[in-house]
């Protein structure tokens, strides 16, 4: 139902809640995307070179385009904005649409994190009430909880960094967990080869970039790997803790209780208060509210609360709204400081 009527209803609702309309650039520098998401993301974007040889691309994501706008205009302080338009992204799944029509809304620069998270979800639910649907599910996750869990685990620092960095890459992350259960990553033969590379790199310019990292960073990571080995038995225990954590799925009212039981059982010094989550009721309007520890991994820039709303309309299930918190995105795109940000987008159908 890609209709102008649907779009207008949502736009009116978002505007009535105090969000100001802004226009986003359709074309952005490819380097912004690649630096943030890595070279692997390049195959998903539509890129080309301008007359000066600079590589540009059609925006693959409206949130990134919005954060680049904040940077480009050297904005400071709080903004409540909304925008609409198309995002262009290739997909390995041939059934996925290349062009996605969206309406997004964000709160940027506000330090009132909990209230902002709640406002974004409430704004999404309020706008959803303008649309006819049978039933739906509001699923909530939180990347921050996973990050805190990893920080408490008894594994080398390099492994903590690795697990955090690749959490959004589900298949690769699962492969990392399997490797964590062995000592395959410190194979003496591989270490010997790496040592030769190390000796060569020590003589080079430490600021030079190799495969996305400076030589200085590569040398530091190698030193940590040699000085901070791990035992397979410890890796197996940690891998099981992570796998069990990612199985937690329950009604939102039980989320804090389930998490705290898990932390206590595994002797992890963490505790989640019941008011930690932006929603506390199991039912809002026609939506069942659920919590999942594994939800929210599809985009690497989320840092805290994440959510999605799936609705059922005429016996068809539709992923209608996705959103969450991305406090590091603006700094990752080149900003000199960390800027709090949370938002969501309607996927028009």
| pLDDT attached to residue 6 | 84
**Residue 141 phi, psi (nearest 5):** -135, 180
Residue 43: which residues within 8 A CB-CB, separation 6 or more? 90
CB 316 within 8 A of CB 136: no
Residues 124 and 187 in one domain: no
Q: What is the largest CA-CA distance in the chain?
A: 66
pLDDT digits (tens, 9 = 90+) for 308-332: 999 988 778 888 999 999 999 999 8
| pLDDT attached to residue 211 | 59
Determine the 3-state secondary structure of 161 from DSSP: helix
Determine, yes or no, domain membership for 216. yes
CA–CA distance, 17 with 14 (Å, rounded to integer) = 5
CA–CA distance, 142 with 136 (Å, rounded to integer) = 20
Residues 57 and 162 in one domain: no
Determine, yes or no, domain membership for 115. yes
Q: Does pLDDT of 50 surpass 80?
A: yes
Q: What percent of the chain has pLDDT over 70?
A: 85
Determine, yes or no, domain membership for 11. yes
pLDDT digits (tens, 9 = 90+) for 234-282: 788 999 999 999 999 999 999 999 999 999 999 999 999 989 999 999 9
**CATH code for position 80:** 3.30.930.10
Distance of CA 301 to the CA centre of its chain: 4
**Residue of 82, 146, 70, 111 lying closest to 305 (CA atoms):** 146
Residues 95 and 178 in one domain: no
Q: Tell me which of 240, 259, 274 is where a domain ends.
A: 240
Residues 108 and 232 in one domain: no
pTM of the model: 0.81
Residues 88 and 213 in one domain: no
Determine, yes or no, domain membership for 288. no
Residues 120 and 181 in one domain: no
Residues 68 and 167 in one domain: no
Determine, yes or no, domain membership for 145. no
Residues 112 and 8 in one domain: yes
> How many helices (DSSP H) and strands (DSSP E) are in the chain?
12, 15
More confident residue, 291 or 336: 291
For residue 184, the 8-state DSSP code is G
Determine the 3-state secondary structure of 307 from DSSP: strand
Determine, yes or no, domain membership for 321. no
CB 312 within 8 A of CB 134: yes
Q: What percent of the chain has pLDDT over 90?
A: 55
347: Cα within 13 Å, side-chain hemisphere: 17
pLDDT digits (tens, 9 = 90+) for 170-190: 888 999 998 888 755 544 444
Residues 77 and 168 in one domain: no
Domain tally, the chain: 2
Segment among 132-141, 212-221, 323-332 with least mean pLDDT:
212-221
Residues 126 and 171 in one domain: no
Residues 125 and 186 in one domain: no
Residues 101 and 184 in one domain: no
- Token duo for residue 206: 């430490």
Determine, yes or no, domain membership for 309. no
User: Which domain, by its residues, includes 128?
Assistant: 1-132+340-349
Q: Tell me which of 240, 258, 281 is where a domain ends.
A: 240
Q: Tell me which of 222, 240, 258 is where a domain ends.
A: 240
**Residue of 86, 169, 60, 143 lying closest to 323 (CA atoms):** 143
Determine, yes or no, domain membership for 255. no
Work out the average pLDDT over 19-29. Answer: 95
Kind and range of the H or E run holding 343: strand 341-347
């Amino acid at each position: 139902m890609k209709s102008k009527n649907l779009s207008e209803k949502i736009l009116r609702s978002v505007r009535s809640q105090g969000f100001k309309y802004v226009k986003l650039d359709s074309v952005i520098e490819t380097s912004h995307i690649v630096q943030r998401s890595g070279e692997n993301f390049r195959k998903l974007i539509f890129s080309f070179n301008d007359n000066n040889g600079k590589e540009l691309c059609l925006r693959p994501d409206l949130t990134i385009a919005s954060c680049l706008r904040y940077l480009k205009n050297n904005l400071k302080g709080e903004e409540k904005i909304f925008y609409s338009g198309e995002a262009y992204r290739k997909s390995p799944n041939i059934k996925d649409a290349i062009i996605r029509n969206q309406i997004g809304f964000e709160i940027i620069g506000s330090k009132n994190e909990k209230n902002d998270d709640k406002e974004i979800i409430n704004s999404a639910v309020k706008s959803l009430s303008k649309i006819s649907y049978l039933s739906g599910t509001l699923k909530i996750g939180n990347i921050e909880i996973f990050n805190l869990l990893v920080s408490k685990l008894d594994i080398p620092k390099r492994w903590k960094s690795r697990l955090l960095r690749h959490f959004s890459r589900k298949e690769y992350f699962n492969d990392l967990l399997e490797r964590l259960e062995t000592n395959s990553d410190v194979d003496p033969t591989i270490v010997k080869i790496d040592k030769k590379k190390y000796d060569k790199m020590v003589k080079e310019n430490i600021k030079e970039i190799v495969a996305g990292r400076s030589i200085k960073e590569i040398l530091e990571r190698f030193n940590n790997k040699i000085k901070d080995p791990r035992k397979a038995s410890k890796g197996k225990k940690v891998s099981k803790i992570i796998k069990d954590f990612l199985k937690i799925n329950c009604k939102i009212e039980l989320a804090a209780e389930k998490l705290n039981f898990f932390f206590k059982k595994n002797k992890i010094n963490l505790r989640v208060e019941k008011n930690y989550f932006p929603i506390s009721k199991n039912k809002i309007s026609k939506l069942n509210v659920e919590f999942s520890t594994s939800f929210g991994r599809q985009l690497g820039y989320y840092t805290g609360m994440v959510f999605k709303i799936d609705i059922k309309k005429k016996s068809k299930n539709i992923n209608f709204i996705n959103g969450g918190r991305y406090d590091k995105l603006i700094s990752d795109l080149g900003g000199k400081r960390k800027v709090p940000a949370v938002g969501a987008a309607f996927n028009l159908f």
